[in-house]
Structure 1
Amino acid sequence: MVDSITVKKGIIRFEDGELFDEEDQIVTEYPLTIILNNNEFATMVCTPSELEELVIGFLASEGVIRFRDEIKNLHIDEGGGYAYVETTRDVITSQEYYTKRFIGSCCGKGRQFYFVNDAKTAKTSTSTITLTPEECITLMNEMQNSSLVFKDTGGVHNAALCTSNEIIVNRTDIGRHNALDKIYGYCLSNKIPVRNKVIVFSGRISSEVLLKAAKIGVGIVLSKSAPTDLAIKMADELNITAVGFIRGGKLNVYSHPERIVQNSFEQTL
């Protein structure tokens, strides 16, 4: 069994011109190998929490499954670092399939680089949810304030699935993709509709993060950090609103700004 998602470590700290002994909280780094239908499929380096959600979300984002009930058996051997998965149907387990690049048209607007499984599983959002700038800022603050592991270690990413005014589930991991996969696995396991939900994220919005959000099926991604240019292009094509640099009462809207609206009081002024 994994003892903890953090460990205590003696360190030497330098501060105000002096060196002194101190104890610090360090986040645990844990390798988990997925054995899919008796074949080694992938190894993830992760934070050892919500491992079942992580495996389910990862397999869904890779296009191996679409629904939780397509997994016949799932067993986590925490001591050995293995997740044994049996699906209800045969699936392609070739690593070439899951790493081969595919050039395809997305929504007919342009040509972007995707992995083969990304082209299969990325969804164009049909979300009708809207947020005020104030709601974006509040959700970001609530997610940040609720992450005790980040406060203790500074070494993890946070992701949360939200409505316009509350957090449904918050997940933490050393890998930003893993945090999103845990969210995805939670949604599939609990049959949570995601069309009009929001992803709040602590890290940079890269193209891979944007694709993860598209696979989950949300229409808005909020981040305290910056997006990349390819992420913005993909957000434009996949009808996703990308909002970044949410900090200090400010934010930037990079795509589909129609979902970020002023409140009714301000609109009447």
Structure 2
Amino acid sequence: MSSLAGAKGVEAFALAPDPDDPQLTRCVDGRDQLGQPVSLNVVVERPLTLYLNGTEVVTLMTIGDHPELLALGFLLNQNMLAADDAVTAIEHDAELDVVVVRTRSEARYEQKLQRRIRTSGCAQGTVFGDIMERFDDTRLDTTAELRSSWLRSLLVQIGRQPSLYQKAGAIHGCVLCRRDRPLVYMEDVGRHNAVDKIAGYMHRNGLSGHDKIFYTTGRLTSEMVIKTVHMQIPILVSRSGFTAWGVELARRAGLTLIGRAKGLRFVVLAGAERLVYDLALARPPGASS
């Protein structure tokens, strides 16, 4: 099946943005460059304070949808919660803008926090080192592949999906995909929040990352690369560009890193061995199909 044919009649996203949710946008009146009155939809930002059991971890600025997934994904991607930690409940209080993740036993971050409080007074300084240790220990699937026809189909399907970006802008989107099918589409004011929501969804639904493709509208920074590797997803794609450290880390982890993906065009700066060029316009000289 061709990529464009595959974009028609595709199964619905398992989870996708709801641009009609009145809690996510607000209509604001203003004036344009001619002084004429205008009304504009703008994205709503709200704080969400995250607790791990009895420990306050962070306050995130978010659009407020899927707070449970955001909290769970944040803790996993920050290495504050291990994949095998037994989560017994995730409680969200919309009035207080609080979400509490509860585990059966004390999580590793809480144990570390107590140790650090007794010494230097803060555990946050050790978080980055833990993240990078986990990053270096992660092994991505070397048999995964991305066909250029799949990429073309994914871009078409994602572009057709109604989104908050289309309605109000000022927002980032991330999509979890498998082959030429987009599965889960999340948006937020920060791309890191959108990534964490997908990480939370994957954990809750027992989804492995080894055969997945991750798409983002944001830049391919070190943070995006680290989070993708933590989710054990071997392929990261963006319509935007790269940072040097993002590329360096992708090469270090064996991650396929593709940027500037629009229409039939894209650039791959790491992990090119996973690419299969099966579209005539995308096939470089001498490449096998």
TM-score by length of structure 1 reads 0.86
Which residue matches 2:205?
190
Cα displacement string for residues 119-161 of structure 1 (whole angstroms, at most 9, x for unaligned residues): 2432231242212223223313322332420001111100000
Partner of 1:47: 63
CA contact (8 A) 1:98 1:117 kept: no
The residue number in structure 2 matching 1:78 is 94
What residue number does 1:97 align with? 123
Structure 2 counterpart of 1:26: 42
**Alpha-carbon contact 2:148-2:279 (below 8 Å) kept:** no
Indicate if the aligned counterparts of 1:242 and 1:254 stay in contact, CA closer than 8 A: yes
What amino acid does structure 2 have at the position aligned with 1:232?
V
- Tell me the distance in 2 between the aligned counterparts of 1:253 and 1:241: 7
Kept in 1: contact 2:72–2:101 (CA 8 A) = no
Answer yes or no: is 1:199 the counterpart of 2:218.
no
Does residue 119 (structure 1) correspond to residue 132 (structure 2)? The answer is: yes
Q: Equivalent pairs: percent with the same residue?
A: 23
Identify the residue that residue 75 of structure 2 maps to in structure 1. 59
Q: Say whether residues 1:221 and 2:240 are aligned partners.
A: no
SS at match of 1:54: helix
The residue matched to 2:225 in structure 1 has which SS? helix
Choose the corresponding residue for 1:259, options 274, 280, 286. Answer: 274
Following TM superposition, by how much is the alpha carbon of 1:97 offset from its aligned partner in structure 2, in angstroms?
Answer: 3.0
- In structure 2, how many angstroms separate the alpha carbons of the residues matched to 1:3 and 1:146? 18
CA displacement at 1:39 relative to structure 2: 1.7
Which of the numbers 155, 162, 165 marks the counterpart of 2:170? Answer: 155
CA contact (8 A) 2:149 2:279 kept: no
Report the more deviating stretch, 216-225 or 247-256: 247-256
Give, as a single letter, the amino acid of the residue that structure 1 aligns with 2:257: A
1:197·1:218 contact (CA, 8 Å) conserved in 2? yes
Q: Is the 8 A contact 1:140 1:223 kept in 2?
A: no
Cα distance in 2 for partners of 1:194, 1:78 equals 31
Q: Is the 8 A contact 2:177 2:183 kept in 1?
A: yes
- Superposed CA deviations along residues 165-206 of structure 1, whole A, max 9, x for unmatched, are 110111011110000000100000111121010001000010
Cα drift, residue 21 of structure 1: 1.0
Flag structure 2 segments of 5+ consecutive residues without an equivalent: 1-20, 117-121
Q: How many residues align?
A: 252
Q: Is the 8 A contact 2:91 2:100 kept in 1?
A: yes
The answer to whether the 8 A contact 1:143-1:158 is kept is no
- 1:187-230 Cα offsets, whole Å, 9 max, x none, are 00111121010001000010011001011110000000111111
Give the Cα separation in 2 of the matches to 1:56 and 1:145: 29
Give the aligned CA root-mean-square deviation in angstroms. 2.2
In structure 1, list runs of 5 or more residues that go unmatched.
102-114
**TM-score (normalised: structure 2):** 0.81
In 1, Cα distance between the equivalents of 2:164 and 2:42?
9
Give, in whole Å, the separation in 1 of the partners of 2:104 and 2:212. Answer: 29
* 1:88 Cα deviation from its structure 2 partner: 1.8
Q: 2:176 is paired with a residue of what secondary structure?
A: strand
